[in-house]
């Protein structure tokens, strides 16, 4: 297309070409920006989880006085989750950090001054219960995987 050719375009042709080209280009950039802003690249999330004992008499209340801290874990689908589970029980009680299928995580440890770890990829979105197999229903929490 020569310069003189474009110069001789009618007003309506010029306006139409500019309108279509700029709206297409602008919308493409806008949608690309919007998509890029929403996209969250998968990350490795290291989460420390502790056993914790609430100050009440579990025999009297007929409930385990053990809980998790934290009892909520939030990750995005695709994240690599590294759980560092600490059993800080003062006595000799074992605790577990257990998630059933599809993640199938089970860390089962006695009291110890260091964590035991589990690593998995959160590839299924949803809300998943994690529990101590010895101290349900109080020692439970939820991992939410945002899809």
Partner 1 sequence: MLRGGAILLMSALGVLDLAYGSLYAGGNYENIWYVMGAIYIVLAGVTALEIQPWLFQPTILGYSLFLFSAWLTSGVSRDPVAYSDKAIEIILAISMVQLIRISRSPRLLR
Interface residues with partner 1 (CB under 8 A) are 6-11, 14-15, 17-19, 21-23, 25-27, 29-31, 33-34, 37
The size of the chain, in residues, is: 147
Nearer to partner 1, 6 or 54 (CB): 6
Nearer to partner 1, 22 or 136 (CB): 22
Q: Which two tokens stand for residue 134?
A: 């010895």
Nearer to partner 1, 18 or 74 (CB): 18
Burial 87-122 (b: 16+ CB within 10 A, else e): bebeeebebbbbbeeebebebebeeeeebeebeeeb
- Closest approach of partner 1 to the CB of residue 18, in Å: 4
- Closest approach of partner 1 to the CB of residue 7, in Å: 5
Q: Which two tokens stand for residue 71?
A: 């009892």
């Amino acid at each position: 297309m020569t310069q003189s050719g474009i110069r001789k375009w009618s007003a309506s042709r010029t306006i139409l070409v500019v309108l279509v080209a700029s709206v297409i280009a602008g919308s493409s950039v806008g949608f690309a920006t919007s998509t890029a802003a929403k996209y969250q690249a998968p990350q490795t999330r290291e989460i420390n989880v502790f056993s914790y004992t609430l100050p009440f008499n579990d025999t009297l209340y007929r409930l385990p006085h053990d809980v998790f801290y934290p009892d909520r874990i939030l990750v995005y689908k695709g994240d690599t989750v590294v759980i560092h589970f600490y059993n800080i029980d003062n006595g000799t009680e074992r605790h577990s950090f257990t998630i059933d299928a599809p993640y199938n995580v089970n860390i089962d440890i006695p009291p110890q001054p260091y964590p035991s770890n589990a690593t998995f990829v959160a590839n299924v979105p949803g809300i998943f219960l994690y529990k101590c197999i010895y101290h349900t229903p109080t020692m439970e929490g939820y991992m939410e995987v945002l899809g």
